[in-house]
Amino acid sequence: MREIAVSWSRFVMIALALAVFVGSPAQAADKRALAAEIMRASGLEQQLSHTTRSIKDSLQKAEESGKATSEQREIGQIMLDAFGPPTILSSVGKQLADQLSEGELQKVLSWYEGNPGKKLIQLENQLGDPEKAKDLVEFAKQTEQNPIPESRQALYQQIDKATLTTQTTVDMQLNSRVAMVKAMNKTAKSEKKLTDAEIDAKIAAQRPQATAFLQQINLIKFAYLYKDLPEGDM
């Protein structure tokens, strides 16, 4: 795949140009296929596979210990459904296809498959290393004394919006909360049971607070990952 010959700033402007796209069913299918390729190239699909594997491992350990209960199995299955790649990828893929034109999706995919995108994905994957994770915590403490420059903050915020990082993370968190509450609701006393609609509404009301919190977390994460990269490489 040839390297895309535009700066990150230009890529962000393209990705944020959320034009209204009206096309034939074939064109819509093409957009969803491109969105699926973007999720693969960005590493989201692999990340979700790791998450579901962790849930399955926990369930297996409980079974092997002989202490697994029917409620634990039910909650575990609900969590697998909530975090399963088909559920999240379908939601995120729809967002990408709805918000970007076919041409914009192709440019995003080209960027991810080019050298700049691969470099940034490699940096993000390093956070799986416990030492790198500790470094990130220390970096976050340092930003309290030495705030991230406003120009870089603006760039990282554009990255967040263009890649739907916060939006995707919020969706995953809220989906998991809905799944857990609904599972626990099944064992609640009848007078305390909530309807599925009530649970959905209560969790949906948490979206603004969750979004604000995760936007700040992702701002620090981006600043840590990309601190040594010049803007021209982003």
Are 204 and 175 within 8 A, CB to CB? no
Tell whether 22 is covered by a domain: yes
CA angle 134, 137, 143 (to 5 degrees): 140
Q: What proportions of the chain, in percent to the nearest 5, are helix, strand and coil?
A: 80, 0, 20
pLDDT at 23: 41
What residues make up the domain containing 161? 8-233
Tell whether 3 is covered by a domain: no
Tell whether 98 is covered by a domain: yes
Tell whether 2 is covered by a domain: no
Mean per-residue pLDDT pooled into runs of 10, the chain (234 residues): 35 36 53 86 78 83 85 77 74 79 86 78 74 85 91 87 79 81 80 89 94 92 82 66
Tell whether 1 is covered by a domain: no
HSE (side-chain half, CA atoms, 13 Å) at 54:
8
pTM of the model: 0.62
Tell whether 156 is covered by a domain: yes
